[in-house]
């Protein structure tokens, strides 16, 4: 469901304007995420990908245009065995139980993929991201209640989600107060059509859907990390610690990551210096030399999301290079396939999700980009 957010917003509008009593926000917008979490979506993008040459993830054209493989800008992460899962009182249910995991060594980008890197990819391949593609009504209506009227063409334009602070403190259970659909928002226009990435060349690329990240990986000869690899790397050699740097609070003394300081979602003191994304490598590295494994932008992983993943894993003994479940499931949005995202973002705050913890997990729809969602790549030893 590529346009999960858009559909949800359309339904809200329709419910308000046309008083379709049975069509409410809760009938469709069921994501568990609110403050900083990305969202959901499913097979629609796959169909669009199949029909759009430049968006075809597995297309030969991308392979033909494949970049020469390189480990430049990557850090070798030595393999090892660790206890994967929740640390501290902020850990959520899906982070338990802790269980033993072994990962082989791999290469990992020292920082999140930047706008400069993504630009190189799009110029080499002609790739167009999902957020830059006009929604197709025929595909959308299949995901809507029968009889839902077609919205005005002015709404069916390319775009993405946008965060906007509220005027004051609000009920945090209703994220539509700070998230809205923004036409013309995409990775080249991260804050909407009037914005650009000039001066943000070294900021992480955002508004990238899973498919977009996957296409980049194929071109670069790399891949997305598994959840187990990501967490092992984020821990940076520390054991049983909450954050990549240890247990000290993110804002104790000097901020150690780009997060949200103040009252979410209405006041950001910007103690760390950034309201939205920060240039990569702006904060302290972890023990492996990796930047921004906490905060800045969420990062796609290759595993399907399932809240029971760890319970199943723990019952099977030590896991070696786990790849995640074969199917996804998000109880708050059961019809949308979702992949795992890690690391939290500049919107994370202790009052809400505190997802700049090494064990925090979040589900996200494969075809939905967000202004606080990016990725980094990894590469196996061989
Ligand atoms: Ca910040």
pLDDT for the residue numbered 87: 87
Strand (E) positions, the chain?
Answer: 74-77, 80-84, 99-103, 106-109, 159-163, 179-183, 298-304, 319-320, 338-342, 361-365, 373-374, 378-380
Position 378 scores a pLDDT of 98
Position 314 scores a pLDDT of 97
259 CA from centroid of ligand 1 (Å) = 4
Residue 75: how many other CB atoms lie within 10 Å: 19
Q: Encode pLDDT of 231-254 as tens digits.
A: 999 999 999 999 999 999 999 999
Would you say residue 36 has pLDDT above 60? Answer: no
Which pTM value belongs to this model? 0.85
Ligand 1 centre and the CA of 364: distance in Å?
A: 22
| 212 CA to centre of ligand 1 in angstroms | 25
Give residue 115 CA to ligand 1 midpoint distance, Å: 19
Which pLDDT belongs to residue 156?
Answer: 83
For the stretch 301-350, pLDDT in tens is 999 999 999 999 999 999 999 999 999 999 988 888 899 999 999 999 98
CA dihedral (323, 344, 8, 326) in degrees, to 10, reads 10
How far is CA 188 from each of CA 114, 120, 166, 341, rounded to the nearest angstrom? Answer: 12, 13, 25, 22
Res 67: pLDDT: 61
Q: Which residue has the higher pLDDT, 16 or 187?
A: 187
What distance in angstroms lies between residue 37's CA and the mean position of ligand 1's atoms? Answer: 15
Mention every residue, 6+ apart, whose C-beta is less than 8 A from residue 191: 162, 185, 276, 371
For the stretch 164-215, pLDDT in tens is 999 999 998 888 899 988 999 999 999 999 999 999 999 999 999 999 999 9
Query: Where is pLDDT greater, at 124 or 24?
Result: 124
Span from the CA of 187 to the centroid of ligand 1 (angstroms): 19
The conformational region for residue 88 under phi > 0 = left, psi -120 to 50 = alpha, else beta, is left
| Domains identified in the chain and CATH numbers | 4-66+87-380 (3.90.1580.10)
- Lookup: tokens for 26: 């809760």
Percentage of residues in the chain having pLDDT higher than 90: 68
Q: How far is the CA of 269 from the centre of ligand 1 (A)?
A: 8
């Amino acid at each position: 469901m590529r346009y999960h957010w858009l559909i949800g917003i359309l339904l809200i509008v329709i419910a308000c304007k046309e008083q379709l009593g049975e069509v409410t926000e809760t009938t469709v917008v069921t994501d568990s995420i609110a403050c900083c979490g990305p969202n959901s979506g499913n097979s629609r993008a796959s169909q669009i990908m199949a029909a759009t040459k430049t968006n075809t993830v597995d297309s030969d054209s991308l392979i033909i245009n494949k970049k020469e493989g390189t480990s430049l800008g990557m850090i070798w992460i030595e393999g090892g065995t660790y206890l994967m899962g929740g640390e501290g009182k902020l850990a959520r249910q899906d982070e338990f139980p802790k269980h033993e995991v072994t990962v082989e060594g791999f290469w990992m980008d020292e920082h999140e993929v930047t706008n400069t890197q993504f630009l190189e990819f799009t110029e080499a391949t002609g790739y167009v991201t999902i957020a830059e593609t006009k929604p197709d009504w025929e595909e959308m209506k299949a995901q809507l209640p029968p009889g839902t009227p077609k919205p005005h063409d002015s709404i069916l334009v390319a775009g993405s989600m946008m965060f906007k602070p509220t005027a004051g403190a609000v009920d945090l259970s209703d994220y539509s107060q700070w998230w809205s659909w923004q036409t013309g928002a995409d990775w080249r226009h991260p804050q909407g059509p009037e914005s650009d990435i000039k001066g943000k060349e070294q900021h992480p690329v955002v508004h990238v859907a899973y498919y977009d990240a996957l296409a980049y990986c194929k071109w670069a000869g790399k891949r997305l990390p598994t959840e187990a690899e990501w967490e092992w790397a984020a821990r940076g050699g520390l054991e049983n610690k909450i954050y990549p740097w240890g247990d000290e609070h993110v804002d104790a003394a000097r901020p150690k990551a780009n997060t949200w300081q103040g009252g979410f979602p209405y006041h950001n003191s910007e103690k760390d210096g950034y309201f939205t994304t920060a240039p990569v490598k702006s904060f302290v590295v972890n023990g492996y030399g990796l930047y921004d494994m906490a905060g800045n932008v969420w990062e796609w992983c290759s595993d399907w999301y399932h809240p029971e993943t760890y319970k199943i894993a723990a019952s099977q003994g030590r896991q070696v290079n786990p790849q995640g479940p074969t199917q996804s499931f998000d109880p708050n949005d059961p019809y949308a396939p979702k992949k795992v995202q890690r690391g939290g973002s500049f919107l994370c705050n202790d009052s809400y999700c505190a997802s700049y913890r090494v064990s925090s997990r979040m589900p996200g729809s494969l075809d939905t980009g967000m202004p606080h969602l990016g990725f980094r790549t990894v590469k196996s030893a061989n």
